[in-house]
Amino acid sequence: MPRHRFCRRVLTALASLTSLVLLGAACGDDDALPTSVEIVATDYAFAELPNRIGTRTTLTLRNDSSIEVHELLAFPLPDDITGTASEILAMPEEELDTFLDVPPSLVIVAGPEDEPFAAVGDGTLPEPGRYLLLCAIPTGADPAEFMAAAATSDGPPGVAGGPPHFVHGMAATVEVVEP
């Protein structure tokens, strides 16, 4: 076979392979939804939280703080509410009450040295939509007092402390989609 035909075939094969690789990258697992996500609670942020999860994605919470209890509260947002978590939390209180004055869809609590537990829900957000995630634990609350109160409470435990953690920026949004 003449050299120019061989080179042309090699170049054609390489071009086809490159197209397949690029197509695979565009349609591949990069858009796959995780089956589980461990969200890391720090003082005062949520880390390791993707922008999108599936309705079957299991969420867990790891508390990396040595002094604060943290929680993950998830509230579904109405379709007309847009913006970042800090923009949403800056809305007038009467507007916030329209969607935050209901029980959260999910509550996971984690003390500094305690195993996390789901106080509400099973660790998933089964309804598609956008959610506001926040930590409403009072800053400086005694971890032992909070965990004891949380174990016996039917709602938010009333413990002493400063402003809630979300005031310090511990809030985020996530989009939940059908897989």
Transcribe 62-94 into DSSP letters. EE--SS--EEEEEEEPPTT--S-HHHHHTS-HH
In this structure, are 11 and 93 located in the same domain? no
In this structure, are 23 and 37 located in the same domain? no
In this structure, are 22 and 90 located in the same domain? no
Q: Are 124 and 58 in contact (CB under 8 A)?
A: yes
Taking only the tens place, the pLDDT of each residue in 118-171 is 999 999 999 999 999 999 999 999 999 998 888 787 778 888 899 999 999 999
pLDDT at 15: 41
In this structure, are 49 and 110 located in the same domain? yes
pLDDT at 10: 37
Q: Cα dist. 2→7, 8, 9, 47, 166 in Å? A: 9, 10, 11, 59, 71
pLDDT at 31: 67
Q: Are 64 and 45 in contact (CB under 8 A)?
A: no
Residue 124's domain is classified under what CATH number? 2.60.40.420
In this structure, are 74 and 10 located in the same domain? no
In this structure, are 64 and 94 located in the same domain? yes
In this structure, are 104 and 39 located in the same domain? yes
In this structure, are 37 and 18 located in the same domain? no
pLDDT at 165: 97
Question: What tokens were used for 13?
Answer: 């094969």
The Cα–Cα gap between 118 and 95 comes to 28
Query: 104 is in which domain, residue-wise?
Result: 33-177
The Cα–Cα gap between 28 and 67 comes to 42
In this structure, are 15 and 59 located in the same domain? no
In this structure, are 66 and 103 located in the same domain? yes
In this structure, are 11 and 65 located in the same domain? no
pLDDT at 2: 53
Q: Please tell me the total count of domains within the chain.
A: 2
pLDDT above 70: residue 14: no
Query: Which residue do the tokens 């916030």 mark?
Result: 96
In this structure, are 131 and 53 located in the same domain? yes
**Mean pLDDT, residues 58-75:** 96
pLDDT at 123: 95
pLDDT at 151: 79
Following CA atoms 77, 79, 84, 90 in sequence, which dihedral angle do they give, to the nearest 10 degrees? -70
Taking only the tens place, the pLDDT of each residue in 99-116 is 999 999 999 999 998 889
pTM higher than the cut 0.85: no
